[in-house]
Structure 1
Amino acid sequence: MSEPDEPPRRRQARGERRVTQLLQAAASVFCALGYTASSTNAIAREARVSPGTLYQFFPNKEAIAVELSGRLIKEMEATHGRVFTPEIARLPLDRLIDEVTDPFIEFNTANPAFLALIKGPDTPGRVADEHDVLHNSLLERVSEMLEVRTPSLSRAERALISEMCLAMFKAGLNLVMQHEGEDKDAYVRELKGLLYRYLAPYLGTGAAVGTPAMNQT
């Protein structure tokens, strides 16, 4: 069967596989070189395709970054839905921190291109905008969890605590991502200990009961 006669679904599936191949190659190149130093030629070489093949799917490096970032953000949003639940909010504080931080550490470990893209000085505007939306959504979900846990906190207090927690997590995550093996585990423990010591005076350390339900999407 010649390519023009190929069934549409098969052509579509083949195209989707090629896009995935190119995005995986781009993720590797962005991590190795950073967004600024990366090029479509480097991405094509990593994907073992010609530049012409790459341009059939993406017009430039920015379009690749936008598509890759969009897919990673969707995965991150799915993680939000799994971890920010009333059940997890009511757990003893050490378990709550484990349940919330572990999936995000695992996500960033599996997808280092996510941090490579958003930390670059010339990150495409659309990528930066989508990350800002994600950041604000994350703050809101943390605030909702705090409300479930300790309803006596005011909205302003919850907003402040959420900002502090996220800032601490991001700073700690940068250190975690720079290490491997036992060293990485040690930094993870330190990060969790930092969050525990900060949150304990506000949330207590035991399980919470009889608190309001969270808004769930």
Structure 2
Amino acid sequence: MSEEPKPRRRQARGERRIAQLLQAAANVFCANGYTATSTNAIAREASVSPGTLYQYFPNKEAIAVELGDRLLAQMREYHGQAFTPANLALPLPPLLDAVLDPLIDFNCQNPVFLALMHGSEIPGRIAEEHDALHASLLARVGDLIGHYLPGSDAAQQSRIADMVFAIVKAGLALILAAPEGAERDAVVAETKTVLLRYLDPIIGEALTTIPSP
């Protein structure tokens, strides 16, 4: 009889244990921040011994890097859903919905993302990959501005993109701090209103006159 199912079962158990440890780490990072978190705290949150944790991760940094890699991969997928040619052909209000809703949904499902990516003393690899993703998204927003404002220069496009990101970052912090339900929905709506009122005088009219990408 084949012995192959046993390794597969062991692998599945290992994957479940890793997922358990990463979720525990996410909870503790959210509560305490990266710097103040210890491997012992993560083990307690996961209801395992420190020795069990060390079977899978040698230290806190390795846990953070694995968690960060998974979060960044998911974030790239969410942004792939947002910046599509079909979405960029929409009028400004539904365009904001199409671009922001996946981003807001991701952050609400993964509050550790902001806590980890914007915390102090996070591992360099996470910071580098996050900075690269941030720069890529800024460039995409800048390109979008340039599409609707073909006469604008790169400096103007960059300023507008920076302002959009500042508004979104501030809005996300308020959204995550709001209780789930009606209050959070209201903060989401307010964030979109701020962006609409900022962007509409800049590109609102252009959205109705320039062909989609």
TM-score of the aligned structures, taking structure 1 as reference length: 0.88
Residue aligned with 1:163, SS: helix
Instruction: Give yes or no for the alignment of 1:193 onto 2:196.
Output: no
CA gap of 1:89–1:152, structure 2 versus 1, over 3 A, is farther
Instruction: Give yes or no for the alignment of 1:77 onto 2:76.
Output: yes
Which amino acid is the alignment partner of residue 78 of structure 2?
T
Indicate if the aligned counterparts of 2:149 and 2:206 stay in contact, CA closer than 8 A: no
Between 118-127 and 72-81, the greater mean CA deviation after superposition:
118-127
Which amino acid is the alignment partner of residue 186 of structure 1?
A
Residue aligned with 2:177, SS: coil
Indicate if the aligned counterparts of 1:30 and 1:38 stay in contact, CA closer than 8 A: yes
Q: Give distance in 2, aligned partners of 1:154 and 1:127.
A: 32
Residue aligned with 1:88, SS: helix
Indicate if the aligned counterparts of 1:90 and 1:209 stay in contact, CA closer than 8 A: no
Between 155-164 and 140-149, the greater mean CA deviation after superposition:
140-149
Indicate if the aligned counterparts of 1:58 and 1:64 stay in contact, CA closer than 8 A: yes
Cα distance, 1:137 vs structure 2: 1.2
Residue aligned with 2:34, SS: helix
Cα distance, 1:114 vs structure 2: 0.6
| Aligned equivalent of 2:17 | 18
CA gap of 1:125–1:37, structure 2 versus 1, over 3 A, is same
| Aligned equivalent of 1:182 | 182
Indicate if the aligned counterparts of 2:25 and 2:42 stay in contact, CA closer than 8 A: yes
Q: Give distance in 2, aligned partners of 1:7 and 1:144.
A: 52
Which amino acid is the alignment partner of residue 96 of structure 1?
L
Which amino acid is the alignment partner of residue 91 of structure 2?
P
Cα deviation per residue 1:49-77 (whole Å; 9 max; x = unaligned)? 11111101101111101110110010000
Alignment of 1:95-110 (within 5 A): 95-110=94-109
CA gap of 1:177–1:205, structure 2 versus 1, over 3 A, is farther
Indicate if the aligned counterparts of 2:88 and 2:212 stay in contact, CA closer than 8 A: no
| Aligned equivalent of 1:116 | 115
Residue aligned with 1:62, SS: helix
Cα deviation per residue 1:35-57 (whole Å; 9 max; x = unaligned)? 12211111111112111111011
Structure 1: any 5+ residue segments left out of the alignment? none
Residue aligned with 1:211, SS: coil
| Aligned equivalent of 1:202 | 202
| Aligned equivalent of 2:53 | 54
Cα deviation per residue 1:174-214 (whole Å; 9 max; x = unaligned)? 1111111332222212211111111112211585465363x
How many percent identity over aligned positions?
55
Residue aligned with 2:33, SS: helix
Moved over 6 A (4+): none
Cα distance, 1:87 vs structure 2: 1.6
Indicate if the aligned counterparts of 1:142 and 1:162 stay in contact, CA closer than 8 A: yes
Alignment root-mean-square deviation, CA:
2.1
Higher relative contact order (CA 8 A, sep 6+): 1
CA gap of 1:71–1:169, structure 2 versus 1, over 3 A, is same
